[in-house]
Amino acid sequence: MRRSIFVLLLLTLFTRQTALAQLLQQENLTHYNLNGKVKSFTEVSKSIAPDALAPMIKQTCLFNPDRNIVKLEVYDNTGLRYQRDYTYTPFGYTYVKKSKQNVKGKDTWISAKPRIYTYNDKTRKEETKGGGEQTEIGYYNEMGETDSIYVYSLSGKLTQKIRHLYNIGGNIIETNIFDPKGKLMEHYTYKWDKHGRKIFEQGFNSAIKFKYSQSHKYDQFDNEIAFHESAVTNGLETVTTIWTYAYRYDSHHNWINRDKRDDDGNRISSTERKIIYY
């Protein structure tokens, strides 16, 4: 009996660290805060204020029955401009980015090399490389929490060392970024509520001097309803951004409409979301 319980505990721990390791970088339904067996969703955003920055016009995400994203498409007024296609293995995933770029006056589809994410529970190592981007090699603990990351340039040169500190709930409460020689470059702290939602963030420079702070509020379905940001400008801390959000939901408690407003209550943008379920 004791041996059976011990084996069960080992299997539970292995499954937990595997699941957490995958969730660190993998885009899935949890990332998008979606409930139920979602097959796809399409978001269409429209600016309201004439002086506002134009938002993404349209985004479509397709998921497999395992709740992992398999395709991401981004459109603008001219049509499809950007696409990601995902494939999965038992120990990671790969995505290929395709973008429409203007080459000699003509729109041309450009495919990047595959971006590959893999993890190994035996060595507790994860690696993200390829796709014309920097390589990131991380190491995670027995709880599946990546507490150290090494970032390398395209030429293979070490550029950053990143260290994360977690709370008992598995949320990052402190991040320190060092240069290759170990000198502190940036420092960040985070606070979370009892539901595991980030409610406060602060950023500091290499001298631990304040750069910015952000606060977040959420509704009962874990969607952000208020965002507040302050930053140092000319040596003084000033409020830079205040946004509020209002939602309409479907029967699965997934939002299907989101209005964004500024600090004066003016509507900035409106987003409609169409969700298809399995």
Tens digit of each residue's pLDDT (9 = 90 or more) over 210-244: 999 999 999 999 999 999 999 988 778 888 999 99
Chain segment 73-90, per-residue pLDDT in tens: 999 888 899 999 999 988
| Percent of residues, the chain, with pLDDT higher than 70 | 87
118 pLDDT higher than 80: yes
- Calpha distance 257→265 (Å, rounded): 17
Task: Tell me the mean pLDDT in the region 1-26.
Answer: 44
Torsion sign across C-alpha atoms 38, 220, 15, 149:
positive
Q: Is 21 helix (H, G, I), strand (E, B) or coil?
A: helix
**Which has the higher per-residue pLDDT, 265 or 7?**
265
Tell me the pLDDT of the chain averaged across its residues: 87
72 pLDDT higher than 50: yes
Contacts (Cβ under 8 Å, ≥6 apart) of 251: none
- Calpha distance 179→161 (Å, rounded): 6
Whole-number pLDDT of residue 50 = 60
Whole-number pLDDT of residue 234 = 77
HSE toward the beta carbon, residue 189, CA cutoff 13 A: 9
Nearest to 227 by CA among 238, 209, 237, 240: 240
Task: Tell me the mean pLDDT in the region 80-102.
Answer: 92
Contacts (Cβ under 8 Å, ≥6 apart) of 46: 55, 269, 270, 271
Task: Tell me the mean pLDDT in the region 176-195.
Answer: 96
